[in-house]
A and B are shown apart, each in its own frame.
Chain A
């Protein structure tokens, strides 16, 4: 009998087929054919997922479809796809967001050349297939296969503009950092496999959760490190803001909604293992809330919409990791679903507003959006509200409130975490509303082409368009989801088999006020001219700005006084030095804590120096280890052969040789060349031989 779960195999198949058809060279495809194929491949998984989800919501929700089984020495490796509540929900979300983004990209990318278009959609479809494979994977091999394939697609897609060195560099950076983290994940998965002697998740996770060894801690830490890298959490976060060099649909699908959040998904997937180790849980929570706060703070001071959204992704995924760390992976999945919707919406809307602007994706390009692209602007507002967590009417509030409540309910440490998360929520609202309010400002006067403008854009309003439906439908669908999805958060969490956490009224009320506090902050940063100019100038490194002054008066000064008072320090202060310090701090934040510089100094530069030294570019020999045996052999040869080269034996032999030469010269005279002489010689020789023979036989 055919199981309905066989449909699972069909979920990643359409995008894979689209990838193969778009990626295989022999078929010549026209632009329209490319777009149709891409659209079919991108949208089909959603419609395959729907009946599966229906079956799953109906209660029959544990389907394993074996793909094939490998006999492997003593162990058996069974590859399979798995349908359970978690993979159903995440799979459905990914398929939906993927369908929306690819639909949007049909129009957004329509001014690219056919070859580039083909490459773009082939990779997007491959990514979608990889992500769905990972989500639905029933074993670690399939899981890791999808996981790595996503990374590969991410590399190619970030570097989509192959002519732009910074895009290529960003792709490399993203790939190397995530691959570094993946090495931890791979180690963790392999150790789990050795422990459980199976790769099937349904065997391996319970086996991993029940073992009581040091290895358990190691495995949990390795899995956590893998998740932090893929999800761009501190300290691996540096690749995500750079990855915004890719086209906007790529940022919307890969670098916010799905791939980056996959780390949180993975943690939720392996949560029994993580949760049975309190230390790892605490570390996860600390990294999660720390990253959330750091990402939100950094996002406030961004001057580029996409970079702002990138830091926002870092921060929001920090909330998910926090939820897993608090022992509520179901809440993390709930936030995953909601975040996927509003974050992709924000990217798509911002992309539509800034597309073709000569200002690139800088915040200024948002200006005048309400008049220019009203649908996109409204969609953006919806997404920003959801991101900020405006109470009751947005989905973001429900899921974030669940995370905050989970923190509150964890005990005294939980309250500290809650406090940090609450401050983060305020910062979130500040940066969420900044682009919204910026868009209300009038457009800048001068239209001169900026040096870093979009390479394809010549005029703001001239764009190749297929039909506005390709833009509008995804925006409307995602905006609806971001607003009304809130009612789904509680069902999602209970569907996953957990209770929605509820906090007491006071913290809940405080959390509900956070977006409004944030809105005030955003308004101050946008409409108070001195502050706006200050944020604008935050990237200018040469002189302190007004923002620095404000920051000093309101934040740094009280802090320093507090510290001095606490430490009973009565020495006179060096005001200039303090000022200098806090100028550094704010810039440090606006550049994502300068982690790039730290890596540059700690890892990249020593690595490059080592490589250059080994390759002989910095003094020293080329390939020292390889040439050592050669040098040794040469030295040895010289030591042994050198003294013998001009010795007496040698001279003796050479003298004999010279003598021989002289004899040869004399002997040469016998040769006359006349045959008669030779005949005589022959005869005489024969005669002599005969005489000798006669003589010897004489007796």
Chain B
């Protein structure tokens, strides 16, 4: 294990890229956007190189250095397949969101900076294994996301941004309290997750601490009844903001649940996991039902996120190989498919000025490319075999059959309801006659780029699941039987 800096670079590059983007605007037209793309692309190259260099089995790359040793603070960054896959998602979606917001000229330097900072902070979340640093990045994510919603949002954006902030900040307190307790409870003050994991914590304390962790993760996920911030935030955010919210921020919640509870509190997790499954089962139906009732296209997709992330929660709490693997796959798959749907609806909104399902329609006739793109992600949303979403959900269902057939049946029902809302969206947007929206211009080349990218990702991981599942193997086995790090 050398002292490579690639993981640090993955966090710092987007961060400094954001600072550069803040000022790049004055050196040329669109300079801030190119700077952002360059920073993210460079980080992506570094990430791919890190994938190619051999790791030590469990970890692809591992870094550790002191920050404030007297306070027990270290920087521990580690990447395995799960973090690696999510980092690919984060950087790719970062690039997509920069491209998507190309035409926004209002404070464009700050906009790109906020996008990059969101990516940087969530990268920090995906990599940190020092709990205090993890909590730091966890809270840090909120700031640029808050900016994105409140400055460039639509409609009642201040209220939505505030709701988002209050929900997540309050829930973050639970995480912070639990982290402080963990750090201070041993003989030496340390926040090293690997060391903390080896401690013998009494069962009752484990449950309490886990509740603190779960508060933060479940709100971010989000699972009903803690989801009220999400539809507003998604709907009022600009397209790029919705993409990062759905693709990244929700995944940090799922990632946290996937990584830390089984590792730090195995017994407490075993106690609480059935309740997690109950919540997830309820959420998967509830989110799907509400998605059926929405008239705002973006809100509809937001509620589908609730349903899908609830399935992820169920998979994680299932705790068997198939369900954990399914949760991992579903996380990545949902990141691509939900962002693509947001992207398409955003593009539609740019053209028609409405997201109301009752006013849209007739894309099939006026914009066939648009319709084809919708069809691809429509299939992904209803988990058509061949898309990564199906793989994830089928694996979760398989795992659930091993755990309890009731949860498996509920997931299947949610799968059926997903057909109802997906066909409703498709019927209202693509089929029918153009209502108030009029004739819509087809997708431009710049919009097609990200869409093709996301479509390829969705189908590739669906058709050749090895790519993803091989990477997730290590994290899944670790969540099955917690082992200490190096």
Chain A residues in contact with chain B, CB under 8 A? 23, 25, 68, 70-74, 115, 119, 141, 144-145, 147-149, 152, 155-156, 159, 162-163, 165, 168, 171-172, 175-176, 179-180, 183, 186-187, 190-191, 193-194, 607, 610-612, 614-615, 617, 623, 625-630
Contact = CB atoms under 8 A, between A and B. Distances in A.
A611 B469 contact: no
Interface in B171-215: none
Interface in B438-473: 464-466, 469-470, 473
Given A183-B413, A186-B394, A625 B286 contact: yes
Interface string B367-381: 011001001000100
Contacts of B431: 159, 162, 168
Interface in B380-404: 382, 384-386, 390, 394, 397-398, 401-402
Contacts of A163: 362, 365, 432-433
Nearest to A187: B412
Interface string B320-344: 0110010000000000000000000
Given A73-B322, A152-B379, A629-B225, A162 B430 contact: yes
A73 B321 contact: yes
B224 A626 contact: yes
A175 B469 contact: no
B408 interface: yes
Given A73-B322, A611-B289, A625 B225 contact: yes
B271 interface: no
Interface stretch (B54-62, B254-262, B419-427): B419-427
Contacts of B352: none
A614 B390 CA distance: 27
A368 B57 CA distance: 78
Contacts of B409: 187
Looking at chain A's contact residues, the main secondary structure is helix
Given A25-B372, A162-B431, A148 B226 contact: no
B226 A615 contact: no
A165 B428 CA distance: 10
B231 A623 contact: yes
B286 A162 contact: no
The interface size bin for chain B is: 35 or more
Contacts of B362: 162-163
B228 A629 contact: yes
B227 interface: yes
A431 B196 CA distance: 77
A361 B386 CA distance: 37
Given A187-B401, A607-B420, A623-B290, 7 more contacts: A25-B369, A148-B384, A159-B431, A172-B423, A176-B416, A176-B420, A190-B397
Instruction: Output the residue of B226, B364, B433 with the most chain A CB within 10 A.
Output: B364
A193 B427 contact: no
A629 B368 contact: no
Nearest to A159: B431
Nearest to B409: A187
Nearest to B382: A179
A628 B368 CA distance: 42
B348 to A, nearest CB: 16
Nearest to A122: B372
Interface string B268-311: 00000000000000000010011011100000000000000000
B427 A172 contact: yes
A630 B385 CA distance: 38
B416 A614 contact: no
A627 B384 contact: no
Contacts of B286: 614, 625
A165 B432 contact: yes
B397 A175 contact: no
B3 to A, nearest CB: 34
Given A74-B321, A163-B433, A156 B375 contact: yes
B415 interface: yes
B384 to A, nearest CB: 6
A630 B228 contact: yes
B321 A611 contact: no
Contacts of B379: 152
Report whether over half of chain B's contact residues are helix, strand or loop; otherwise say mixed: helix
B464 to A, nearest CB: 8
B412 A186 contact: yes
5 contacts: A70-B466, A148-B385, A149-B385, A186-B394, A194-B402
A168 B225 contact: no
A15 to B, nearest CB: 15
B87 to A, nearest CB: 24
A162 B398 CA distance: 37
A626 B419 contact: no
Contact of B398 (A119, A175, A180, A190): A190
A155 B378 CA distance: 12
A144 B289 contact: no
A356 B321 CA distance: 58
B455 to A, nearest CB: 12
Nearest to A147: B385
Nearest to A77: B465
A179 B416 CA distance: 6
A28 to B, nearest CB: 12
A175 B466 contact: no
Given A25-B369, A115-B368, A611 B292 contact: yes
Contact of B293 (A190, A614, A626): A614
A194 B292 contact: no
Contacts of A193: 398
A149 B386 contact: yes
B223 to A, nearest CB: 10
Nearest to A616: B293
Contact of A176 (B293, B386, B423, B466): B423
Residue from B369, B427, B433 whose CB has the most chain A CB atoms within 10 Å: B427
Contact of A149 (B294, B384, B412, B415): B384
Contact of A615 (B290, B369, B397): B290
B322 to A, nearest CB: 7
B415 A183 contact: yes
Across the A-B interface, give the 4 residue pairs with the lowest CB-CB distance, nearest first: A615-B293, A626-B228, A611-B293, A145-B385
Given A25-B368, A614-B293, A179 B419 contact: yes
A644 B394 CA distance: 54
B386 A614 contact: no
B224 A625 contact: yes
B467 to A, nearest CB: 11
A122 B248 CA distance: 35
B161 to A, nearest CB: 15
Given A615-B293, A625-B225, A187 B402 contact: no
A152 B384 CA distance: 8
Given A611-B292, A626-B224, A175 B419 contact: yes
B400 to A, nearest CB: 9
Contacts of B430: 162
A626 B227 contact: yes
Contacts of B365: 162-163
A625 B364 CA distance: 36
A691 to B, nearest CB: 46
Contacts of A74: 321
Contacts of B432: 162-163, 165, 168
Contacts of A183: 412-413, 415-416
A194 B297 CA distance: 38
Contacts of B325: 73
Contacts of A25: 368-369, 372
A70 to B, nearest CB: 6
Contact of B469 (A72, A156, A607): A72
Nearest to B286: A625
A29 to B, nearest CB: 13
Interface in B88-124: none
A626 B225 contact: yes
Given A168-B432, A194-B402, A611-B290, A627 B416 contact: no
Contacts of B364: 119, 162
Contacts of B289: 610-611, 614
